[in-house]
Amino acid sequence: MAYQQGLYPVLQKENLAKNIFSLTIYCPGIAAEAQPGQFVHLRVPAHILRRPISIAEIDRKQGTIRIIYEIRGEGTKILADLKAGDMADVLGPLGHGYTLLDSDKKCVVVGGGIGVPPLLAVAEHYGANASAIIGFRSAQAAILENDFKKAGVRTVLCTDDGTMGQKGFVTNALEKLLQSETPDLICACGPMVMLRKVTEIAKVHGIACEISLEERMACGVGACLGCACRINRNGKECVLHVCKDGPVFQGEEVVF
Ligand SMILES: Cc1cc2nc3c(=O)[nH]c(=O)nc-3n(C[C@H](O)[C@H](O)[C@H](O)COP(=O)(O)OP(=O)(O)OC[C@H]3O[C@@H](n4cnc5c(N)ncnc54)[C@H](O)[C@@H]3O)c2cc1C
Ligand code: FES
């Protein structure tokens, strides 16, 4: 496995929304290997277990990756103190990312909430051949719309309460979009209920679909059985590791 661990400088920090932060980290070795959908495992000072955070953007030329995270508990609260000039203890890139087709193929990315960031790197690969459907609880939680648009991606923003963009769920917007176009691949990340529905919609339309699962993690490299998930592969149900075999799986393989 081509992952690395080290202390790397934080070049930039941004506050994207309430309790949501973006860090650009200079780690050329990790940036050189990283693929959209993979994640890094961040050490939290004074804590044994690292915290998994998806890679949101990869800039191999600059030797940087960007990560975006929301404060959920103690670990991410401490990580929110990191600022430009600090050193971050990063292990990565880890896991198995999304399939990248040739960039002239058509891809639709569907993200919900803090599941949106890893899809930015996917959409950037396809540029104008990608459509992004991104959904948030409300305007206050909305992030990254301009980043998708800057990459030339047709972007539909949805909010549950209608305070920004279209009112409603991303799955309604996906069904609408599939009435007029047939992408080669759908990539999704977000809450389990959303992933299940996206997988069902893709199946009805006969479109390949990859989804990123979230599971509690300890080692992050397949050594502790801490992140087991049930997958139906080759007609047989088996237990795989979200950290090593995923986090991205074929939607139809996942036992919801
Ligand atoms: C592959 C992957 C990618 C992720 N990418 C992102 C991202 O890009 N942005 C983001 O904001 N969040 C992301 N998460 C979720 C993030 O890892 C959790 O929010 C974070 O670990 C919570 O830690 P905490 O100490 O703040 O919370 P606490 O609840 O205090 O954590 C306690 C323990 O539970 C584990 N834990 C708690 N919740 C989760 C969870 N949902 N998933 C995994 N472990 C958890 C922690 O590692 C820790 O060991 C990702 C999770 C996975 C598995
Ligand atoms: S977190 Fe240890 S096996 Fe996945």
List the domain range (segments joined by +) for residue 224: 213-256
Cα dihedral across residues 21, 22, 28, 29: positive or negative: positive
Average pLDDT score over residue span 170-182: 97
DSSP β-ladder status, 107-112 and 185-189? parallel
Residue of 219, 229, 231, 249 to test ligand 2 pocket, by largest number of atoms within 8 Å of CB: 219
CA nearest to 10, candidates 104, 95, 80 = 80
Q: How remote is the CA of residue 165 from the centroid of ligand 2, in Å? A: 38
Q: Which of 94, 123, 138 is the last residue of a domain?
A: 94
Strands laid side by side in the 248-250 sheet: 166-167, 154-159, 130-136, 107-112, 185-189, 208-212, 248-250
Structurally, how many domains does the chain consist of? Answer: 3
Task: Give the atom of ligand 2 at the shortest distance from the alpha carbon of 218.
Answer: 1
Q: What is the DSSP letter of 49?
A: S
Q: What is the DSSP letter of 146?
A: H
Residue of 224, 240, 249 to test ligand 2 pocket, by largest number of atoms within 8 Å of CB: 224
- The predicted-structure confidence for 82-98, as pLDDT tens digits, reads as follows 999 999 999 999 999 99
Q: Which of 94, 119, 148 is the last residue of a domain?
A: 94
- Same domain, residue pair 102 and 191: yes
- Same domain, residue pair 120 and 87: no
Q: How remote is the CA of residue 80 from the centroid of ligand 1, in Å? A: 13
> How confident is the model at residue 2, as a pLDDT?
85
- The predicted-structure confidence for 124-155, as pLDDT tens digits, reads as follows 999 999 999 999 999 999 999 999 999 999 99
Ligand found nearest the CA of 48: 1
Q: How remote is the CA of residue 44 from the centroid of ligand 2, in Å? A: 17
Read off the pTM.
Answer: 0.96
- Same domain, residue pair 143 and 175: yes
> Which amino acid makes up residue 6?
G
**Contact in structure between 122 and 107 (CB atoms under 8 Å):** yes
Task: Give the number of other CB atoms < 10 A from CB of residue 44.
Answer: 16
Ligand 2 binding pocket includes 87 (Cβ within 6 Å)? no
Q: How remote is the CA of residue 51 from the centroid of ligand 1, in Å? A: 6
> Does residue 1 have a pLDDT over 80?
no
Classified as helix, coil or strand, 48 is coil
